[in-house]
Amino acid sequence: MSLYDVLAPAKLNLFLHVVGRRPDGYHLLQSVFRFVGLYDTLNFDLRADGHIVRDGTHYGLPPDEDLVVRAARALQRATGVQQGVQIHYVKSIPVGAGLGGGSSDAASTLVALNRLWDTRLSRQDLMRLALPLGADVPVFVFGQPAFAEGVGEILSPVTVPECAYLIVQPCQEVATAAVFSAPDLTRNSVCIKMSVFADWQQARAGLPLGSSQGRLLGFGHNDLEPVVFGKYPVVRSASEWLLEHGVPSRMTGSGACLFTEFASLEQAAGCQREILGKIRCESGSGGKAVIKNAWACPGLVDHPLRHWQHS
């Protein structure tokens, strides 16, 4: 038995507030997660010998440190299943980008192997296995846009608008641990209620998305952005370049990727073409590139594997 072309979508943090810090050093957050149509793809082949084997190399990451392998082993230990799996996956979500690629791969592995191995764990069971793998992993198992609290594990479903996003990758990766450990990181943002975000969404529903009031970027902020802009000048330069070209943006997660919202995928794709064209022209004239790539992505209603799970 096999499962091929299993999707692992990227995520955006529509805002990200750091509201405190626990005694153990973990940060307390508030955020809204949204999945977008940029995917890694995984293939799983059943093994009878109980071994978990990852094909290929991924950015020099040893298998024991790979979240995909760790997720498979966590499910195997929790259920006592005797079967193994051969895993091959292809990454399209960039690393060090704040798009949650590794977390998404781990979550899709848990959901897919729960199906392939017929272990029949519930969504809540899988979320409990997901949290030790990383704070962002549970939301991908949760499977729908979510208002997140705690370290990111307290999740409530939220309604988000039908829209598209332009995601821009600067020519610099960001180390998440360095950002969260920075002494100048603001850790005292005021807590908000989920209803405040819901009321704001309702109020903007009648506004044209292209207006400054209609942009989702109008709600909240990302507390990690000033720290990243200070430590990673190329990311700051990419944000400034976008603004100079009429594209205000916000950083997702701990960066480096930036995003902005459009009413339609067609509009986002048009902006993507313009940006990539300008980058090529500037690079060709000897200018120093600050943007590596850009994607136009639909915002997803829910995770593509959401209905693979038991309630």
Q: Write out the catalytic residue numbers.
A: 11, 136
Asked whether the beta carbons of 87 and 42 are under 8 A apart, the reply is yes
Quote the tokens at residue 38: 């940029």
Asked whether the beta carbons of 53 and 30 are under 8 A apart, the reply is no
- Regarding beta strands 27-47 and 2-21, do their DSSP bridges make them parallel or antiparallel, or are they unpaired? antiparallel
Asked whether the beta carbons of 105 and 40 are under 8 A apart, the reply is yes
Q: Which of 145, 147, 188 is nearest to 163 (CA)?
A: 145
Asked whether the beta carbons of 172 and 179 are under 8 A apart, the reply is no
Distance between CA 71 and CA 86 in Å, rounded?
13
| Alpha-carbon dihedral 116, 121, 127, 133, rounded to 10 degrees | -50
Distance between CA 249 and CA 238 in Å, rounded?
10
Q: Which of 288, 253, 294 is nearest to 276 (CA)?
A: 294
| Residue 297 Ramachandran class (φ > 0 left, ψ -120 to 50 alpha, else beta) | beta
Distance between CA 306 and CA 80 in Å, rounded?
24
Asked whether the beta carbons of 97 and 232 are under 8 A apart, the reply is no
Distance between CA 199 and CA 201 in Å, rounded?
5
Q: Percentage helix, strand, coil, to 5, in the chain?
A: 35, 30, 35
Question: CB within 8 A of 240, min separation 6: which ones?
Answer: none
